[in-house]
């Protein structure tokens, strides 16, 4: 082989090495960018319980309390009819996966959580990488308690118009949910909450209060009070703007924040017309 041919082969190899280096470099940047974006899109921010709703042939709610390392795995029987949001009817678990493709998975998750009166973090269909990694890490040290609602006294039954047996959660479920979905850090936060309905729709404040109470936050008053918020507003003392519990309430209910001269441990939640429209 002549010296010229050897030189050409070496140049080609060098170009290939440079090309591969550029490809790996760009690929690395894209991977890092995706990880950074995924971190910003994560649902669990390290406060409160990490609760995931699994929607398939069955509905399973899995919830981890990182402070106590205790997890709840709740199975919802097929016979339960779930009242969905936005007045889209009552549906059994096996129908919800089909409806998720029509109305969106968030609507399904919100409907299940609202029906049970609990907060939740995300659903399996929308878990981003960071949430999956955190869920895996927390699961390694979690002691699970499994509850099948069908094997408890927490359900009531009735006969539908077509003579079918239909199940629903009973009044006993409210107290049980506060035991199963209690978050230690929220319960120990020292905050007290008032929830105000600023709309003409009845029951809005009560349903939001149920979510907060099942998570461990004491709701000391529920009522009606005028407000100019269009959706939801959390009002607290200005010193609590960075409070993780205040931020948690804002995230769960989708609220904005406003600081006022309130008592240090008092938080007020105002629910506007936009929030009421979810029902």
Kindly state the percentage of the chain with pLDDT values over 90: 73
Judged against a pLDDT cut of 70, whether residue 11 lies above it is answered with no
CB atoms within 10 A of CB 141: 10
Res. 31 pLDDT band, cuts 50 70 90: very low
Mean pLDDT, the chain, whole residue set: 88
Res. 154 pLDDT band, cuts 50 70 90: very high
Fold of 183-276: Alpha-Beta Plaits (3.30.70)
Judged against a pLDDT cut of 70, whether residue 23 lies above it is answered with no
Tell me the per-residue pLDDT of 57-91, one tens digit each, with 9 for 90 and over: 789 999 999 999 999 999 999 889 999 999 999 99
Judged against a pLDDT cut of 90, whether residue 4 lies above it is answered with no
Tell me what pLDDT residue 264 has.
77
Q: What value, to the nearest 5°, has the Cα angle with vertex 136 and ends 135 and 137?
A: 90
Domain chopping of the chain, boundaries:
1-38, 50-176, 183-276
List of E strands, 56-116: 59-65, 70-76, 82-83, 90-91
Q: Is the pTM of this model over 0.95?
A: no
Backbone angles phi, psi at 10, to 5 degrees: -65, -40
Tokens of 100: 């998720």
32-36, 101-105, 228-232: lowest mean pLDDT where? 32-36
Tokens 């390392």 locate to: 69
Res. 166 pLDDT band, cuts 50 70 90: confident
d(CA 263, CA 192): 10
Q: Dihedral (C-alpha) 196, 114, 39, 137: value to the nearest 10 degrees?
A: 120
Within this chain, domains 50-176 and 183-276 share the same CATH topology: no
Q: Select from 3.30.420.590, 3.40.50.300, 3.40.50.800, 3.90.1150.10 the CATH code of 50-176.
A: 3.30.420.590
List of E strands, the chain: 50-55, 59-65, 70-76, 82-83, 90-91, 122-123, 143-148, 155-159, 165-169, 192-197, 219-224, 232-237, 256-260, 266-271
Tokens 């994560």 locate to: 42
């Amino acid at each position: 082989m002549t010296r010229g041919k050897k030189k050409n082969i070496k140049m080609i190899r060098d170009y290939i090495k440079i090309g591969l280096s550029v490809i790996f470099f760009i690929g690395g940047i894209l991977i890092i960018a995706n990880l950074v974006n995924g971190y910003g899109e994560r649902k669990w921010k390290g406060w409160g319980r990490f609760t995931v709703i699994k929607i398939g042939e069955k509905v399973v709610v899995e919830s981890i309390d990182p402070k106590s390392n205790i997890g709840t795995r709740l199975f919802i029987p097929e016979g339960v009819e779930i009242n969905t949001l936005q007045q889209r009817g009552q549906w059994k678990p096996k129908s919800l996966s089909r409806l998720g493709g029509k109305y969106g998975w968030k609507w399904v998750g919100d409907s299940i959580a609202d029906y049970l009166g609990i907060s939740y973090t995300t659903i399996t269909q929308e878990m981003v990488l960071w949430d999956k990694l955190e869920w895996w890490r927390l699961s390694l040290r979690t002691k699970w308690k499994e509850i099948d609602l069908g094997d408890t006294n927490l359900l009531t039954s009735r006969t539908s118009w077509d003579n079918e047996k239909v199940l629903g959660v009973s009044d006993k479920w409210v107290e049980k949910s506060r035991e199963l979905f209690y978050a230690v850090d929220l319960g120990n936060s020292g905050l007290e909450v008032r929830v105000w309905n600023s709309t003409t729709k009845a029951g809005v404040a009560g349903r939001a209060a149920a979510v907060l109470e099942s998570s461990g936050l004491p709701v000391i008053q529920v009522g009606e009070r005028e407000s100019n918020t269009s959706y939801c507003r959390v009002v607290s003392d200005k010193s609590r703007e960075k409070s993780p519990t205040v931020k948690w309430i804002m995230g769960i209910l989708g609220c904005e924040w406003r600081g006022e001269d309130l008592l240090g441990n008092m938080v007020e939640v105002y629910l506007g017309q936009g929030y009421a429209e979810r029902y």
